[in-house]
Each structure stands twice: as structure tokens, then as C-alpha cells.
Amino acid sequence: MPAATLIFAIGNESRGDDALGPLLLRELASWLKDGGREKGEGLLEQFELIEEFQLQIEHAMDIKDRKRVFFIDAGMDTPSPFHFYRLQASDQPVLYSHALSPAALLNVYVQFYKESPPDAYVLCIKGETFELGELLSGNACENLALALTFAKQCLLEAESSAWNITSSRRNNL
Amino acid sequence: MSNSLETAQHPETLRRIAIDPISRVEGHGKVTILLDENNHIHQVRLHIAEFRGFEKFIQGRPYWEVPVMVQRLCGICPVSHHLAASKALDAIVGAKQLTPTADKIRRLMHHGQMLQSHALHFFHLCSPDLLFGFDSEVSQRNIVGIAAKYPETARRGILLRKYGQEVIRHTAGKRIHGTSSVPGGVNKSLSLAERDELLKDSEEMVAWSRDAVQLVKELHFKNSELYNSFGAFSANIMSLTAADGSMDLYDGQLRGRDAAGHIMFDGVKDQDYTTLIAEQVKNWSYMKFPYLKTLGPEQGWYRVGPLSRVQNCDFIATPLAEIERREFIAYSGKSLLHAPLAYHWTRMIEMLHAAETIRDLLHDNDIMGSDLTVRGERGFEGVGIIEAPRGTLIHHYRVDENDLISMCNLIVSTTHNNQAMNEAVRRVAQQYLHGHEITEGLLNHIEVAIRAFDPCLSCATHALGKMPLEVEVLDASGEQMSYLARAGDGASINC
């Protein structure tokens, strides 16, 4: 069986704030490798971490047999510092280019496996600049730090229903 | 060959319609159409925000970092950049002839990329247009609509994609940011377990690819009048071919034909591409317009990609794809078939060729060899050309004494097709928009023509919240008359 929780970061680290997803994922990877310190041993086994440039149709197969999926992405119109929300499969038209939105991916999952997708959440971190060769912007650095604190707490509470308390948690930061 | 609709005589007196950006095309594109008060078209232009900052991004870096770094130029075809850069930098380490293992691992990776890219384009990006029609409900024109009505087609699309990605993962070493192709060869071959894992599904991938050719052929035959005329225009063509004239997507020499199919040049070595091609800058477009020097910018533009490759080669070395190529050539008659919608048919022939090539390479024990790299006399300049899924991709580097990149020039497939895509849009505008009020269905006709080329525009970020489609109508004075935007979740905004 695959790990119960899939953490799926999307982004290109050479395109300015698009690196937010991959950078957060790597921070989480190193934190989990250390056992989550506060949590003790065994935390790493509960999670699988995947990084991709973009979501594609075949990624529906990566979320099979998971209890939950945690998408991490950068957003242009996202409220600062980030937005955390529960995701529903979307049957709306998908007009993205060569990439899918997380909601569209869940819908591909439903169509492909003929079953409900795992619980899915999006942590979308506010970014500002996305040009090739740019570094992470100053504001994005701050947002990343806040998102990391929040994400660690989420992972520690992965087995509870606390994830469903969404935007209120963000607002309390 | 050029269409007179590139520049209007008096644009200041015309109405402007902008479609920005184009949905289901990677990155940012904008189509502007200038209309007079009677809705007569006077000017049509496809603007593409091309890859920006390539040179700045790459120059000054150590050459051995480049094959990994260039993958970040494009989230859609990173493998093509990885391999084209490696090929160019082979010359820097003096690797004139790769080991059989290195050559075959790179080819395996490349055909994995070709398979997954073509599968995505056909099953996800264009099949909604082809199966539901260009005027169909927007809610159907996507993979979800396909999955609902054609579940097996959608399922195979996903599994073909997944298989291609697995080939890439095993050969490149990682899902993304692969590191295995290096100047002079590769740094890993396949283990027996990896080979066996890929081998077990390889025949099924060939069978499904063959079915996909039949499906697209059926669609073409069923509506041949539309498919042969939609956005059709004559063009020169160019691609790599092998020394024996066969299709070679990984390596070879440049061959070009004129619009009638006569060979204009052949056997041009990759290192000599600058003797053949120049690039023109136009003040209305960020993207350059490449052309053949001997013909000049007006007559020398050309088309690349599957439609050119299938018609440019003398044969395909894998048997099933060759049968399909022959049928395509017989269908097109004595001259070349220039219809943009024929891209889909030829793309599926190439997907079949990729699936056959993968299967055959997996039966070759060289892919598990241990002789991975070669070195020779140090060089200071190299050119690598590869046939990427969308067409010819050129990487050209100079490296200084300190091993740093001092010059880089990249001509990507979409740039080669810049003029050709503009021509297609103009033809479609003439065929379908002239004298008509603009509707979503009509606008989609333009998008259908652009999508046929499978352009990869700008490799934009995918960040959540972007508007994938905007339509703006301006009058002659620049005042906005109407506006239509469609968000990624399908919601429409009118004002």
C-alpha cells in the first residue's frame, strides 16, 4: 500500500515564485526525515512526497489508494500569505493548457477509477513574480515561512479531522 | 506563400478583437483580428510571448550543468531540452561517437517523451475538438467530456501517458529534473528489473497506439472535406532525417522540401544550421520568424513537426508505422498534404513509431550496458538538433576556457512554426470569421487551428488563478466595446 498521505508540490524552481511549492516540499521532506522532531519516529512513513512541474492526467494514478492528498502550489491571485482549502472534484470545463488544475485532476480520477477520490486539500501560497531565472521574491519568502509552519502542523494532525478547519486557521496566523 | 492579412493598410480605422490567451495551448498566446465596421477582416496576427531570458538564464553557467538546467525552460518538454543540450555539449567533450548504450538510452528516453507528449495532445488536448466538433458545448471540449462519452479512449490516453513517463523515469533517473544524459553519454543504464518492468506493457502500448492511428484516420476520412481544407496553406517543410532517408527523431541531418514536395536541401549537418537558417524580427511579435536564407524571409519560412516529418522522410524503420506512413502518403497523392488537421493523423503515426521503437530498444541488451561515456579532444562550440514532439529543436552553445557558457542560441519548435501558425490562423479567419459576428464557436475554430500544431508557448507558469481565455473587442479609437473572459474553472465573465 502506498503512504496514506500524498504531498504533491507543483512548480518550477527556476521561475521566481513558482518555486514556492517545490521549496516547501523540500523543507517538509527534510523535517519529516528528522522524524518531525516533536512527533518522534515513524512520521516519514505516513507520507509520500512528489514534485512535478505541472499536473497532468496520469497523476490521477498517483493518488490511488491514498487517504488524503495535499497539493502545494503557488497562486497569483491567492490571498496573502496563503490559502488552505478542501478540494472537491470539479466537473466544470477544464480550459487550462497542457496542465490540469487540482480539481480537474480529481475529476479525471473519478472518471478513470469510477470511485470517489481521496480527501484532497490545497495549500496555495501567494506569489508575485513568475519569470524565468528570477529568484523568490521577498514577500514570497515570508509567505513560505508562514506556510511551512502551517504545513508542519497539518502533517502532525494528519489523522485528525482538523484539516477541515480551513480558512479560519489561516486567519489566526 | 504569405497571406496578405499580416498587415492592414489602415489599421487605425479598424475594430480590434483579441483572444488572450489561447486555451489548451501552453503558455500565452494572443490572436488579434482587425475588423472594419462591416466585420470584414483586414489584419490577423498571432502574438506569442516566447520563452524569455533563455540566454541570460544559461550564459555564464558551467557547461556540465546545462543539460539539467535547460529542463526548467519548459514544463512540457523538459526531456527534449535535456537531450538537445547534451547532444550539443557532446562536441565540447570531444564525443564524436557515443557508446551503443549511451545512444540507445538517450533514444529510449526521447521516444518515451514522444509517446507521452503525443498521447497527451491527442487524447487530452485535441480529441475533444475532433470527437465533439468545433462548435460543441465548451463543457464537453475537455478530457472530462471525453471520459464521460468515450471512457476507453480517455483511459488509454492516461495509461499511454503514464507509460511514457515511466520510460522517462527509468532512463532519466527521476520523474523530473532528470540527470542521466550528460555531455559525452549517459550516467546510468537500465537495470534488468527496470527493463522487465517496461517490457511487460510494451506490446499493449503498440496496440493502443495503432488503434489511435485508426481512430484519427477514421475521423479524417469521415469528414475529409473539412479536414483537408480547414486552415490549409502551402509551405516548405523541414526536419531531420537519417542518412538512409528514414525518419529519425533523435539524430540526423536536415532535409527540406518545397511546398510541392521537391527536395530543396538534404544532408545538412547539425553543426552547419546557421548556413541554412536565419531569423527575422517583426515589430509586432516577441517571437522571431526563422526562414531559409536562400529563399529569404518572404518565401523561405517553413513548417516543422509531425506533418512535415512524416512527409519528409523516405520511410519509417518500424513496420507498423511504415504501413501507416504509406497509407498517409497514398492518401495525400503526388503533392504534400498541407492541412493543419492532418497533423493529428501524422502525430499518431509518430506515436506508433515511438511505441514500436521503445519495444524494440527494450529487447536490446545494450540498454543495460556499462560503457556509458566517451571523451575526446576538447571543443569550444557545439550544436545539438533533435526532433522534439512539436518539431525541430536547436541548441547551440559556445564554451570558454573556463568551461562556462559564453554564447547560447536556442530555436524551439514553436518558433520554427511561427509563420506557419500565423498562416493557419489567417486562413481560418478568412474561412470562418469574415463577415460574421464573433461567437465562441467561431473563436474556437481559430484555437483548433493553433492547437493542431501543438504549440508550446512560453512555458508559462501554471500558477492557480490565471485566466486562460480573454476576448476583447475594441473600436477604431481603441475603446473597448465588449469583453469576454473564461476562467480555468469554466466560469464566464461578460462585461
Name the residue with higher pLDDT: B249 or B433: B249
Band (pLDDT 50/70/90 cuts) for residue A40 is low
B31-45, B81-95, B210-224, B282-296 — most confident range = B81-95
pLDDT of residue B461: 34
Band (pLDDT 50/70/90 cuts) for residue A28 is very high
Sequence-ordered list of residues with C-beta below 8 angstroms from that of A142, at least 6 positions apart, any chain: A81
Beta carbon pairs, A and B, within 8 Å:
162
Name the residue with higher pLDDT: B456 or B437: B456
Proportion of chain A above pLDDT 90, given as a percent: 49
Q: Which of B116, B144, B174 to mutate to test the interface with A (most CBs of A within 10 A)?
A: B144
pLDDT of residue B469: 42
What value does the mean pLDDT take over residues B308-337?
Answer: 96
Report CB contact under 8 Å: A92, B139. yes
| The length of chain A, given as a count of residues | 173
A111-131 per-position pLDDT tens digit? 889 899 999 999 999 999 887
B145-203 per-position pLDDT tens digit? 666 777 888 889 899 999 999 999 999 988 888 899 999 999 999 999 999 999 999 99
Query: For residue B460, which residues of chain A lie inside 8 Å, CB to CB?
Result: 97, 130
pLDDT of residue A108: 87
What value does the mean pLDDT take over residues B81-110?
Answer: 97
Name the residue with higher pLDDT: B390 or B125: B390
Band (pLDDT 50/70/90 cuts) for residue B120 is confident
Query: For residue A14, which residues of chain B lie inside 8 Å, CB to CB?
Result: 57, 69, 72-73
Question: Which parts of B148-220 are beta strand (E)?
Answer: 181-182, 185-186
B209-213, B394-398, B453-457: least confident range = B453-457
pLDDT of residue B6: 72
pLDDT of residue A37: 64
Please state, in angstroms and rounded to a whole number, the distance separating the CA atoms of residues B321 and B350. 7
Of A14, A95, A112, the CB nearest to B490: A95
pLDDT of residue B144: 61
Is residue B327 scored above 60 in pLDDT? yes
Please report the residues numbered 134 through 173 in chain A whose beta carbons come closer than 8 angstroms to any beta carbon of chain B: none
The percent of chain B in helix, strand and coil, each rounded to the nearest 5, is 45, 20, 35
B11-25, B225-239, B424-438: least confident range = B11-25
Of A12, A52, A101, the CB nearest to B464: A101
Q: Which amino acid is at B149?
A: K
pLDDT of residue B464: 39
What value does the mean pLDDT take over residues A122-144?
Answer: 91
Is residue A99 scored above 90 in pLDDT? no
| The length of chain B, given as a count of residues | 495
Report CB contact under 8 Å: A51, B27. no
Three-state SS for B484? strand
pLDDT of residue B177: 81
pLDDT of residue A124: 93
A24-38, A150-164, B213-227: least confident range = A150-164
Q: Is B60 on the interface with A (CB under 8 A)?
A: no
Proportion of chain B above pLDDT 70, given as a percent: 81
Query: For residue A103, which residues of chain B lie inside 8 Å, CB to CB?
Result: 489
pTM for this entry: 0.90
Q: Is A88 on the interface with B (CB under 8 A)?
A: no
Q: Is A7 on the interface with B (CB under 8 A)?
A: no
- Tell me how close the Cα of B492 comes to any Cα of chain A, in angstroms: 11
Q: Is A133 on the interface with B (CB under 8 A)?
A: yes
Q: Report the chain B residue with the minimal C-alpha distance to residue A103.
A: B489
Is residue B422 scored above 70 in pLDDT? yes
CB B468, CB B451: distance < 8 Å: no
A98-112, B56-70, B191-205: least confident range = A98-112
What value does the mean pLDDT take over residues B51-58?
Answer: 74
Query: For residue B141, which residues of chain A lie inside 8 Å, CB to CB?
Result: 93
Report CB contact under 8 Å: B120, A57. yes
Cis, bond preceding B78 (omega within 30 deg of 0): no
Sequence-ordered list of residues with C-beta below 8 angstroms from that of B32, at least 6 positions apart, any chain: B16, B17, B18, B19, B43, B44, B45, B47
What value does the mean pLDDT take over residues B467-483?
Answer: 50
Q: Is B286 on the interface with A (CB under 8 A)?
A: no
Is residue A53 scored above 90 in pLDDT? no
A24-28, B203-207, B476-480: least confident range = B476-480
Please report the residues numbered 12 through 71 in chain A whose beta carbons come closer than 8 angstroms to any beta carbon of chain B: 12-15, 17-18, 50-58, 60-61
Please state, in angstroms and rounded to a whole number, the distance separating the CA atoms of residues A11 and B78. 13
Band (pLDDT 50/70/90 cuts) for residue B132 is confident
Three-state SS for B418? helix
- Tell me how close the Cα of B27 comes to any Cα of chain A, in angstroms: 7
Q: Which CATH class is domain A5-171?
A: alpha beta
Name the residue with higher pLDDT: A2 or B494: A2
Query: For residue A49, which residues of chain B lie inside 8 Å, CB to CB?
Result: none
Please state, in angstroms and rounded to a whole number, the distance separating the CA atoms of residues A18 and A129. 8
CB B161, CB A56: distance < 8 Å: yes
Query: For residue A100, which residues of chain B lie inside 8 Å, CB to CB?
Result: 143
Is residue B56 scored above 60 in pLDDT? yes
Question: Which parts of B12-108 are beta strand (E)?
Answer: 15-19, 29-35, 41-48
Domain ranges of chain A: 5-171
Domains of chain B in start order, with CATH, are: 4-49+418-494 (no CATH), 65-416 (1.10.645.10)
Cα dist. B159→B175, B208, B209 in Å? Answer: 16, 10, 11
Of B56, B57, B139, the CB nearest to A93: B139
What value does the mean pLDDT take over residues B264-279?
Answer: 97
Band (pLDDT 50/70/90 cuts) for residue B380 is very high
pLDDT of residue B455: 79
Band (pLDDT 50/70/90 cuts) for residue B129 is confident
Q: Is B174 on the interface with A (CB under 8 A)?
A: no
Mean pLDDT, chain B, whole residue set: 85
Sequence-ordered list of residues with C-beta below 8 angstroms from that of B213, at least 6 positions apart, any chain: B324, B345, B348, B349, B351, B352
Looking up cell 489561447 gives B22
Name the residue with higher pLDDT: B229 or B29: B229
Q: Which of A15, A53, A136 to mutate to test the interface with B (most CBs of B within 10 A)?
A: A53
B66-95 per-position pLDDT tens digit? 999 998 887 778 899 999 999 999 999 999
pLDDT of residue B459: 40
Query: For residue A18, which residues of chain B lie inside 8 Å, CB to CB?
Result: 461-463
Output the DSSP codes for B257-305: E-TTS-EEEEEE-GGGHHHHEEEE--TT-SS-EEEETTTHHHH--EE-S
What value does the mean pLDDT take over residues B328-335?
Answer: 92
Query: For residue B138, which residues of chain A lie inside 8 Å, CB to CB?
Result: 93, 95
A4-18, A74-88, B352-366, B467-481 — most confident range = B352-366
Report CB contact under 8 Å: B24, A97. yes
Query: For residue A130, which residues of chain B lie inside 8 Å, CB to CB?
Result: 460-461, 463
Of A57, A94, A131, the CB nearest to B161: A57
- Tell me how close the Cα of B119 comes to any Cα of chain A, in angstroms: 11
pLDDT of residue B159: 95
Proportion of chain B above pLDDT 90, given as a percent: 60
- Tell me how close the Cα of B94 comes to any Cα of chain A, in angstroms: 30
pLDDT of residue B210: 96
Q: Which of B461, B486, B489 to mutate to test the interface with A (most CBs of A within 10 A)?
A: B461
Is residue B135 scored above 90 in pLDDT? no
B37-46, B316-325, B468-477: least confident range = B468-477
pLDDT of residue A22: 95
Q: Which amino acid is at B201?
A: D
pLDDT of residue B314: 98
Is residue A35 scored above 90 in pLDDT? no
Please state, in angstroms and rounded to a whole number, the distance separating the CA atoms of residues B143 and A161. 32
pLDDT of residue B76: 77
CB neighbours (10 Å) of residue B58? 23
What value does the mean pLDDT take over residues B346-371?
Answer: 98
